[in-house]
Chains A and B, each alone.
Chain A
């Protein structure tokens, strides 16, 4: 399987251009009746090109809120969110739509395919809103469907596909607009462990092909595949480190690790 679908348009040597996401003292408050709920209470996160980040946290930690803001579906109450160097924390609804359209790829827990459209048409949806010529977008959709292993099911409807296949379509769709990063919300939450492994393998392949992935999950096992884990609790970042490398380091030098951990 070849994943060289992301034509890295320019060589990015400049340090700032490497920054995909820059979040500074981001807060989000909701008003629930008379009460004000502070879902995010000042978060700083920077994500560089090519990172595979897992955002973890128990329910109520604010990770869904963060996901919505990262996905440009919602705006922060305060703080800044720069996406590819552009501040998107105070733009209009139409501009947010435009950003989602041009720069983001979504993968949802429940796949969120449109049931009346077939595989190719579902993959084409983001391209439709970009105004891509139908012949071009169709060609690209077929290419992406083939890439995720659904080349023989192009005109199937979502209801005719298994959960794993549907999620593959969703992955293909998230790649259609060649996004800055892919935002995956519990991508394997509805799948059995065999299919889960398949989907994670695809994501891993995408990562190795240079794609940025931000994945929200509450399962340690899933977060383990990411190169970096950000843990949230009560609206704050409580830990942010490269856990995979640490684990590798830990298993490589099992002896001296005891002394270090003290």
Chain B
């Protein structure tokens, strides 16, 4: 019986909304915008932070990254010197290997930008001298052949593993494995190629952004051939740099040792470096910072969107109040014919809930469409979470109830005699 009455009341509500189609549509539009902006904003925010987090994750959450830093203000007459010497030393690497606990492995890297050439094809590449453990960091995966081995290191073999971009550029048609390429003025044999890696951030080259342009060679082989000095030739000036290692990645057995290890490393480096010509990067901390930023970002975006929902709710209340004034007589008639107060409350509440619910459903459609359009047109990643759909729809229904209660109560509390007298 109650179900039947509720159904009839709902039909009645929908019908009376149908009497003012434009008005109802405009009122629901407020909710449509509210819900769709909540969904769209959250999905864009989620997408942006997801991208950033992926980048950080690539650095490895259980790693501590040390990077050489060029210190501009050198003490004394350093500026006059021909050779600029700074950064992490081979000795630092050795000390770490002997003192650091909880290490899986420590991977040193030295990067020399130079030309890679095969036959007539040539392009700028980052030659990364490193150890076989680099592969175990999990940043790169082999497409063909093998990675560097300990034998390569021990025998100073001139072997190279090509990044996907280099491999594609130098060997568009030929199988690169076993071919000899020239790096700078030295010949190296290709033993493997890497799979394409996405994203723009790499740990391979300290400055290199694109790991696809890296060429990996054994660190010892690199040092033996290229020597210690790197010569940069820029317009008019020639600078020589002596950087023993550009970066060291310390990979720990578990990410709970990361903070302690970072502090130890910092202390260790501080003792042997006069100036802070190094940088300690803890991806895990960056990740945590990102999480916090993301939370704040989401709260801000969410509340902006929630305000538009609130405005939509006020719109509903406004229209319902006007509608009630307009329909005072109808309310009086219904009361005289036996409607209880709660029947009137239900009648008007149903109208607001129908308005806000249909607005909410439409808002979900629009809210899903907006990120899709944004992603298609700007390549900005967006992620629509199920929670944002459920939450925003739930809020829209709640808005209908909350903003409907006052007008509905006002309608129901009218004196039937007064209501009947009203023209």
Contact = CB atoms under 8 A, between A and B. Distances in A.
Q: Specify whether A and B are partners.
A: yes
Interface stretch (A38-46, A92-100, A148-156, A222-230): A92-100
A163 to B, nearest CB: 16
A93 B341 contact: yes
Contact of A116 (B1, B8, B16, B335): B16
Given A73-B416, A73-B417, A114-B330, A98 B336 contact: no
Interface string A64-98: 00001001011000000000000000000110011
Interface stretch (A51-59, A122-130, A205-213): A122-130
Interface in B321-374: 329-330, 332-343
A108 B340 CA distance: 20
Interface residues of B, number: 24
B142 interface: no
Contacts of B19: 116
Q: How large is the interface on A (under 10, 10 to 19, 20 to 34, 35 or more residues)?
A: 20 to 34
Contacts of B339: 97, 101, 129
B13 to A, nearest CB: 12
A126 B340 contact: no
Residue with the greatest number of chain A CB neighbours at <10 A, chosen from B341, B342, B416: B416
A162 interface: no
Contacts of B336: 71, 73, 100, 106, 112
B343 A112 contact: no
A173 interface: yes
Nearest to B16: A116
A128 B8 contact: yes
A128 to B, nearest CB: 6
B340 A94 contact: yes
A230 B183 CA distance: 120
B4 interface: yes
A133 B3 CA distance: 12
B343 A129 contact: yes
A108 B338 contact: no
A97 B175 CA distance: 91
A131 interface: yes
Contacts of A126: 337-338
A112 B333 CA distance: 6
B337 A74 contact: no
A102 interface: yes
Contact of B338 (A68, A100, A115, A133): A100
Contact of B8 (A73, A74, A106, A134): A134
Nearest to A177: B338
A97 B420 contact: no
Nearest to B338: A101
B337 A116 contact: no
A102 B8 CA distance: 19
A165 to B, nearest CB: 17
Contact of B417 (A74, A113, A131, A173): A74
B5 interface: yes
B15 interface: yes
Given A116-B15, A131-B1, A134-B8, A100 B337 contact: yes
B417 A112 contact: no
A64 B401 CA distance: 38
A158 to B, nearest CB: 11
A98 B8 contact: no
B338 A114 contact: no
Interface in B1-59: 1, 4-5, 8, 15-16, 19
Contacts of B15: 116
B338 A102 contact: yes
Nearest to A111: B333
B289 to A, nearest CB: 60
A134 B8 CA distance: 9
Nearest to B2: A131
Nearest to B330: A114
A108 B337 contact: no
Contacts of B340: 93-94, 97-98, 129
A126 to B, nearest CB: 5
A130 B343 CA distance: 11
Contacts of A173: 337
A133 B1 CA distance: 9
Contacts of A112: 329, 332-333, 336, 420
A101 B333 CA distance: 12
B20 to A, nearest CB: 10
Contacts of B420: 73, 108, 112
A132 to B, nearest CB: 10
Interface centre among A97, A106, A126, A131 (most CB of B within 10 A): A97
Interface in B407-422: 416-417, 420
A130 B340 CA distance: 11
A115 B4 CA distance: 23
A71 B333 CA distance: 13
Contacts of A97: 335, 338-341
Most interface-central of B337, B339, B341, B342 (chain A CB within 10 A): B337
Nearest to A103: B338
Task: Name the residue in A93, A98, A102 with the highest tally of chain B Cβ atoms < 10 Å from its Cβ.
Answer: A93
Contacts of A94: 340-342
A144 to B, nearest CB: 14
7 contacts: A73-B416, A97-B338, A100-B338, A101-B338, A112-B420, A116-B16, A129-B338
Given A100-B337, A112-B332, 15 more contacts: A73-B335, A73-B416, A94-B340, A97-B339, A98-B340, A100-B336, A100-B338, A101-B337, A101-B339, A106-B337, A112-B329, A114-B330, A114-B333, A130-B338, A133-B4
